[in-house]
Structure 1
């Protein structure tokens, strides 16, 4: 009996150690950002709260497994192995790869920034628009979004389109969170934002006007749901001076319809 208890304790202890290693590795990866893609050992130790000696050992293990890579200045950045694994996600293999030709045609028809985003977050309060596809050109107006980047739902066209797909219970939880004012035009008030969602549902597309970036208008459409994929939306961002909202809405809606048909036929 004692041997059984010791064996059970050993298994539990081993599992806790493995879970601890995973948590520490995730903490290290969470230190990196678009603004700081490369960090020193000391910076990582300070931000994770892991002892410096333990950080050295952990980074060596993550380097060996390709989760991190060394860069000049005795710093580290995200490793290629993580990119390789990420490309196996259905969001890449199914959604983005199927969407790319459609995004290109939409770009050719508009000459403007084209975005594909999915809803991502552990809870409604922490959810954001995660950009998985983006096509831009020399004449397109600069935007803050990037592939792999996150933008708030309330301040972006694709974000509002994604909000329009959520039910009352989800939205009730979402509105308990905070919403930052990205520009002086950002709609943060719950009543006003709910009205925006209602308008989007009524007309079939969502818009923002200078709510994430000054001078821009965004027109976006949500995708019908597809089994095995998160909620998705696609849109275009153009300068206010050359925005034809109805034309853009028709083009984006048609693209979403064609993309959904391809996704459905591929199942």
Structure 2
């Protein structure tokens, strides 16, 4: 979707317009709309039809998109190829998977892995990059590849908590302007982040579930990440689950550091 926030627009003013528009076009796709027509791309991106048609064809030529015989577009093979050399996939997710599976086996609850979608506080969201579910875990709407506002998720709060004070200040300024922050329980944003910094984990309650998350100690070998659990409220046992979660996060960090 096009960037509309004035502060974000200021950040992007020196980025070539063709690059900004190309990214706007690529971000039109998601798991519920993995193939789109030109008309649908125009509607989703807000770009002129002539620009969408030209950019789409250029992105097909470069391999970022592919075009079907019915003139519908989808994400191309180059995006898949590049995704597999991302540190998120090649190191973080690959090395975390075995520990996430063990955490599920020990807890019986949904396990999630999250990263920041951007290094810049103006653009950052929580991006779900891994998960382990099973027959014992509660049904949730979270899905891999989805973004969520940082303060509305335990994973997002855990990610924000380990950023620099300058980064957090920039993010909180953005959160105060942005209704999409969607704070759980109407908590003060600064208080929510301070809780994680003091206790080492984030906690959010909904009507049916409780979410926990803790930062994974950072490494130069992989991006900042957080590990989380989502459990049914009737099975909630914070004294059991928090130590399991923190121990697993440390195990992931040690595994990454050895690579």
TM range (shorter): 0.7 to 0.9
* CA offset digits 1:109-156 (Å, max 9, x no partner): 112110111123253133111111111123322223222211121111
Q: Whose Rg is larger?
A: 1
Change (3 A) 1:43 1:262: same
Q: 39, 43, 55: which is aligned to 1:42?
A: 39
Change (3 A) 1:218 1:55: closer
Distance in 2, matches of 1:121 and 1:55, equals 25
CA shift at 1:225, angstroms?
Answer: 1.3
In the other structure, the counterpart of 2:237 is 244
* CA offset digits 1:147-191 (Å, max 9, x no partner): 221112111111111122123222221111225365xx814443x
SS at match of 2:116: strand
SS at match of 2:112: strand
* CA offset digits 1:81-136 (Å, max 9, x no partner): 21121111111111111111111111111121101111232531331111111111
Query: Structure 2: which 5+ residue stretches go unaligned?
Result: 1-15
Equivalences for residues 71-110 of structure 1 within 5 A? 74-110=71-107
Q: 186, 202, 205: which is aligned to 1:206?
A: 202
TM-score (norm 1): 0.80
Aligned Cα RMSD in Å?
2.4
Query: Structure 1: which 5+ residue stretches go unaligned?
Result: 1-18
In the other structure, the counterpart of 1:9 is none
Change (3 A) 1:56 1:180: closer
CA shift at 1:49, angstroms?
Answer: 2.4
Q: 130, 135, 138: which is aligned to 1:138?
A: 135
SS at match of 1:103: helix
SS at match of 2:122: helix
Change (3 A) 1:228 1:243: same
Q: 212, 219, 222: which is aligned to 1:219?
A: 212
Give the paired residue count: 240
TM-score (norm 2): 0.82
Q: Does 1:162 align with 2:134?
A: no
SS at match of 1:154: helix
Instruction: State whether residues 181 and 187 of structure 1, in contact with CA within 8 Å, keep that contact through their aligned partners in structure 2.
Output: no
Distance in 1, matches of 2:19 and 2:167, equals 30
CA shift at 1:221, angstroms?
Answer: 1.0
In the other structure, the counterpart of 2:184 is 186
* CA offset digits 1:199-233 (Å, max 9, x no partner): 322222211111xxx41101111011101432211
